[in-house]
């Protein structure tokens, strides 16, 4: 996984930074209508469009994680209205969560019951298949405060699909990684 793009380097240093909720750019909302006939120009436009979609899906996916971390339930509701599929489901380790409503209920209870729990997005990487309307966003996070003596690396894998010219998240799989003691022996 690569580091976040330069414009989001502050997000690593300031994970509590809130993301501005912006309207999705035209490249995500509708297909490109560039009138260019030049093959070189067309391929450049397609590459630029794919990079724009990639960056936007990474930004939105990180915004979901940050809204959860910061208890911004109104922002999360706004994001979900635009970007969550009605068929959304999630997996947390081996547990299956069958709907977006159940997922939000679970994470809100979790954050309420574990006030010392903190997570920060370390990096994101997206694989976009524009032709088939599918994308996967990988988010590497550091989680601390549960249990108290552990730092934990976590990976969330968000599956996106393009439905009716709009990208929506259909699945979130979260996998906890290796625990490291805060004794200085672990990294």
State the pLDDT at residue 147. 66
Alpha carbon separation from 103 to 9, 49, 82, 90, 174 (Å, rounded): 29, 31, 16, 7, 12
Per-residue tokens: 42: 């067309």
Dist CA 11 CA 21 (whole Å): 15
Among residues 142, 121, 152, 141, the alpha carbon closest in space to that of 11 is found at 121
**CB-CB neighbours of 62 under 10 Å:** 22
Domains of the chain with CATH codes: 6-21+39-181 (3.10.450.50)
pLDDT by residue for the chain (187 residues), tens only, comes to: 444 444 433 333 333 333 333 334 443 333 344 344 444 445 568 778 778 999 999 999 999 988 887 878 888 889 999 999 999 999 987 789 999 999 998 888 888 888 888 888 999 999 999 999 999 999 999 988 776 667 888 999 999 999 998 999 999 999 887 555 544 444 4
Question: Looking at residue 16, what is its pLDDT?
Answer: 37
In Å, how far from its chain's centre is CA 158? 6
Nearest alpha-carbon partner for 147 in 180, 112, 122, 109: 180
Looking at residue 11, its pLDDT comes to: 35
Neighbours of 106 (CB within 10 A): 14
**Tokens standing for residue 141:** 């996070």
In the chain the first and final C-alpha atoms are separated, in Å, by 18
């Amino acid at each position: 996984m690569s580091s976040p793009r330069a414009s989001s380097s502050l997000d690593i240093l300031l994970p509590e930074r809130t993301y501005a909720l912006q309207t999705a750019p035209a490249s995500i909302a509708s297909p490109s209508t560039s009138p260019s006939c030049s093959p070189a120009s067309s391929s450049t436009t397609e590459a630029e469009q794919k990079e724009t979609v990639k960056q936007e899906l990474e930004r939105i996916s990180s915004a979901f994680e940050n809204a959860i971390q910061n208890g911004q339930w109104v922002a999360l509701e706004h994001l979900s209205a635009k970007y969550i599929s009605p068929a959304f489901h999630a997996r947390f380790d081996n547990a299956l969560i069958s709907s977006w409503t159940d997922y939000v209920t679970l994470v809100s209870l979790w954050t309420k019951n574990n006030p010392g729990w903190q997570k920060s997005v370390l990096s994101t990487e997206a694989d976009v298949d524009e032709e088939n309307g599918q994308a996967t966003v990988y988010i590497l996070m550091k989680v601390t405060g549960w249990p108290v003596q552990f730092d934990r690396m976590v990976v969330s894998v968000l599956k996106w699909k393009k439905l009716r010219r709009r990208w929506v998240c259909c699945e979130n799989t979260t996998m906890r990684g290796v625990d490291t003691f805060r004794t200085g022996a672990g990294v």
